[in-house]
Amino acid sequence: MGRLESGIMIIAQISDTHIALDTPDAEQRIGDFERTIAAINALDPAPDVIVHTGDIVHNGRQDEYAQAVAILATARAPVYVLAGNKDNRANLRAAFSACGYLAPDSEFIDYAVEEFPVRLIAVDTLSRGSNKGDFCAARARRLIGLIDAESTKPIAIFAHHPPFEVTVGPDPLNFETPEMMARLREALQHTGRVVASFSGHVHRAAAGHVGNITATVVPCIATTLRKGDYPAHMKRRPVYHLHRFDPLWGFATETRIVETEPSSAVFGGRRH
């Protein structure tokens, strides 16, 4: 019996690649993204799917998306993307339209992926007005509709902004108002079938709960933007998460650190 037939699946989650072509660290951001996809391609067992939880690019520009699409085209596993606060819905949708899972005429970038043992639901928390998250009543209705569209499988939710307070940072609330985060938390608990929530945005590892739902944050792939304390030898090594679902035990999350070329930071200036 194959892994998926037994109900087991592996999700690779990456986030916050912030591709920008006009910044001094542009090459580093591209390299971090490329090395991460290469590392995921080399995994054994291979993941069933890769989810990018937003801030794919930094300025929402078409040329930035073209770069991101080219890098993601090298991935062996199918890729699904979300909108972060730095993304531009129209340009993101245009860049990834060929993938077929983004509705061309939808106001929001939210959708469900049905072909795995766990349903994957992408939530749109992008705000027009700020870098913080927005979750309006219309989006809550849409999320509840996506949850209700199937009644047997467990669900993993992907949302750029974490639906819990991240206390190690400048501001624990990552939504514009506490009411917006409360609205998302309430919708996530609708029917009890959501078993995990996976986010990005804060560029550091974090974990919390939404009722009985485990909620985690993956650090950013862009190493120059990463927050939190990491040893010097990790300075150029992106971090991503592998979420393995087992129908008996639920989700287990593993942190993966991408190998990188020997650098002067590691080897004292001499390349081996």
Q: Which residues bind Fe ion (CB under 5 A)?
A: 55, 84-85, 201
Looking at beta carbons only, is 48 or 87 nearer to Fe ion?
87
Report helix angle 178-188 to 137-148, nearest 10.
Answer: 10
Looking at beta carbons only, is 55 or 64 nearer to Fe ion?
55
d(Cα 87, Cα 54) in Å, to the nearest integer? 7
Phi-psi region of 126 (alpha: psi -120 to 50; beta: other; left: phi over 0): beta
Q: Helices (DSSP H) in 55-209: which residue ranges?
A: 62-72, 89-95, 137-148, 178-188
Looking at beta carbons only, is 15 or 36 nearer to Fe ion?
15
Looking at beta carbons only, is 147 or 218 nearer to Fe ion?
218
Looking at beta carbons only, is 29 or 201 nearer to Fe ion?
201
- The nearest distance, CB 221 to Fe ion, in angstroms, is 12
Cross-strand partners of 121? 112, 157
- The nearest distance, CB 201 to Fe ion, in angstroms, is 4
Looking at beta carbons only, is 58 or 237 nearer to Fe ion?
58
- The nearest distance, CB 97 to Fe ion, in angstroms, is 23
Looking at beta carbons only, is 55 or 110 nearer to Fe ion?
55
d(Cα 136, Cα 66) in Å, to the nearest integer? 30
- The nearest distance, CB 200 to Fe ion, in angstroms, is 6
- The nearest distance, CB 145 to Fe ion, in angstroms, is 25
| Residue, CB closest to Fe ion | 201
- The nearest distance, CB 55 to Fe ion, in angstroms, is 4
- Give the rounded distance of the alpha carbon of 157 from its chain centre: 10
Those residues whose C-beta lies under 8 Å from the C-beta of residue 32, and which sit 6 or more positions away, are 17, 221, 222, 223, 224, 236, 238, 258
Burial bucket for residue 115 (CB in 10 Å: 0-12, 13-18, 19+): exposed
Per the CB < 8 A criterion, the answer to whether 129 and 176 are in contact is yes
Q: Pull the structure tokens for residue 246.
A: 């087992």
d(Cα 146, Cα 191) in Å, to the nearest integer? 12
- The nearest distance, CB 84 to Fe ion, in angstroms, is 4
